[in-house]
Structure 1
């Protein structure tokens, strides 16, 4: 298949007309974010069973027509592990293309493990081992070699084939419609908006902090996220997680004290020393946000653990009956959310709710009861 390399407006206009004729297209992006906060969009690959194209956004003055074509609601966008790709589209256009089909989300319904890698799917469906020759390519450097372009194009060429096989197999199993809600959730723009006020939730080690220390790590994390966004630099280039934890514990009140912290970056102290000390001193005056939301206890009781074990057993049974990995149907965290009546729970939506979520709710509310035999667990109406 000849690869169209799109680097002029004329070629792009012709490609957009091709796209508009298709019921679905396979998409992939190449980007860099090692030196920036936001991903730098370097290449877009599009394919159908009949053609493949690599679009060079660094060479094109305007991509509006391209996005207009891709965003057509009559065209299904096929991707693998699409969150980062959709993040790029959202940052460039302020919206997310739909409808989307994500092969990583669909694969577990065909017996794969949760979140399977693309190479695994290519190997299993097509018996092809993907080359790793250009895994570390700097996609911002021009010109791209023929080998680099072929490597990028192969991803969407194989994706087309995998999508067709998946759809056929899912249709035979009657499961294709199960995915509608999962894919619809990918269009929630909040997934691609990073809130500085919640950045502290991603800090490993925060659970060991209390009181003033927790207030400080929350303030420092929010400042770092906002600053990284404004200067478009990786957050760890400003200050690392381990250093923020150290500052939360030591609580330096002045720039002089800050400069004495072991291994702290001198440039950080010179540029942001006063800001950091002000943040630390201010944070000490306020109570922290709760470490555990919605009043959830940090440690479950033995009774709660027993309830989770029972729910887990039901999930395992229903997963086996439907030839699914139990983790695909429900994780232990999902079951915890069900106990706490957390509405943000996949067990309350779509096919998971029909297969096991409704049944588990029935058990928790006392409307169903368990009957045990040496060989089985049976759920009966109470």
Structure 2
């Protein structure tokens, strides 16, 4: 397997010029996610079928010509399970390569099951066993070992021939646009940020809290994300979610009382205790009319099980006529998204939140007739 490691600007410019006429590029990234909120990119792999480069983002390089190429609509970018790679690009490059073809989703569409890993795909499609010994390596260390470089190069070297087989089957069924639309949806979801004032509703255990407790949780959730973004620290390194719920429930008035809450880490209190107390004090000053309503679980809604069953049955019926697997149309989580959208949100909240996957292209084009009662405006 021939590849080049690029750490100099001249080599990058020459490589970009060599692949500038390509219609398809296989892409992968290596990154680390230890304590940070955002992934730390460590390597970028690009392959056009002839030229394979491992580009070092830790070197001082001007990526503008490569970024321009990756944004060309006539160049198809191929990745496998790109959700985290999309986040890497959003944070490192400031954009997501488009159009994007996800081989993992394409395999699911073809009936190969959910979330087939890269190694399993390469084995099934090419009969090649991939050495996974470097999968948990420290990609930020320099210099990179030869075994690391070979492993990284294989990711795109094998991805392209797999894609060539998969896209032929996808095109035969007329599903190419579905794969592209799904990748666009993943990019939109990765880029979307829940409004500050609604963050608390996604916290596990929020349903257990009273409105007064929820007011404290709302303040804590907003503060935690802001600090995580400012410090580039993973949310749980600011304060663990379960501890945040306990703090909101008990609403301590001092650092000592906060330290006495079971499970709360002393380091959390030492680092952020005063900030959390300030959140609690802000919540305490709210009038009853300003408190958020209780958070209800879907299972506590009357008729939830019947609604979920009905939606699943209708999706299964569409699946049989289109030959698109039912679990590709919607998982249980995606069905719950649709029910929550209709039952739990106000009209104003629907204006600022992303619509559920089932109401997004491409799914809506297949499912809107079957699920007409669940469409916007159809049910209040």
TM-score range, shorter chain: 0.7 to 0.9
Greater Cα shift, 34-43 or 116-125? 116-125
What residue is the counterpart of 1:121 in the other structure?
Answer: 121
Structure 1 residue 355 and structure 2 residue 371: aligned? no
Residues 194-343 of structure 1: pairs in structure 2 closer than 5 A: 196-286=196-286, 287-290=290-293, 299-302=300-303, 305-335=305-335
Cα deviation digits, residues 237-290 of structure 1 (max 9, x gap): 221122212212221012232233345333433343222112112223334444
Equivalent positions of 1:18-57 (< 5 A) are: 18-57=18-57
**What is the Cα-based RMSD across aligned positions, in Å?**
2.9
User: Which sections of structure 2, spanning at least 5 residues, go unmatched?
Assistant: 343-349
Distance 1:259 1:28 in 2: 44
User: Would the aligned equivalents of 1:112 and 1:325 in 2 still touch at CA under 8 Å?
Assistant: no
Contact between 1:26 and 1:79, CA under 8 Å: does it hold in 2? yes
CA deviation string 1:36-68 (max 9, x = no partner)? 222111100111222211001112343223222
* Distance (whole Å) between structure 2 residues aligned to residue 269 and residue 351 of structure 1: 47
Mark the runs of 5 or more structure 1 residues left unpaired by the alignment.
366-382
Is residue 348–residue 358 contact of structure 1 (8 Å, CA) maintained in 2? no
Q: Distance in 1 between matches of 2:117 and 2:258?
A: 44
The residue that corresponds to 2:148 in the other structure is 148
Alignment-derived partner of residue 345 in structure 2: none
Structure 2 Cα separation of the partners of residues 188 and 271 of structure 1: 34
Q: Can you list the C-alpha shifts for 1:322-375, whole angstroms capped at 9, x where unaligned?
A: 44431112334544565665782443444533434323327999xxxxxxxxxx
**TM-aligned CA distance change 1:243 to 1:93, over 3 Å:** same
Matches for 1:169-188 after TM superposition, within 5 Å: 169-188=169-188
Count of aligned residue pairs for this structure pair: 363
CA distance in 2, matches of 1:207, 1:130: 45
**Contact in 1 for aligned 2:338/2:374 (Cα 8 Å):** no
Contact 1:311 1:360 in 2 (8 A): yes
Name the CA shift for 1:75/1:362 in 2 (closer, same or farther; >3 Å). Answer: same
TM-score for the superposition, normalised by structure 2: 0.85
How far 1:93 sits from its partner (Å)?
Answer: 3.4
Q: Contact conserved, 1:108 with 1:324, CA < 8 A, in 2? A: no
Q: Which of structures 1 and 2 has the bigger CA Rg?
A: 1
Residue 136 of structure 2 aligns with which residue? 136
- Deviations 1:191-249 (Å, cap 9, x if unpaired)? 25575545434422222222122222222122111111111222222211222122122
Question: What is the distance in 2 between the residues matched to 1:251 and 1:18?
Answer: 62
**Separation in structure 1 between the aligned mates of residue 195 and residue 375 of structure 2, nearest angstrom:** 34
Asked whether the 8 Å contact 1:181–1:349 carries over to 2, the reply is no
SS at 2:369 equivalent:
helix
Distance 2:225 2:266 in 1: 20
**Aligned twin of 2:346:** none
- 100-109 or 2-11, larger mean C-alpha shift: 100-109
Q: Note closer, same or farther for the CA distance 1:192–1:65 as it changes in structure 2 (3 Å cut).
A: farther
Normalised to the residue count of structure 1, the TM-score between the two structures is: 0.84
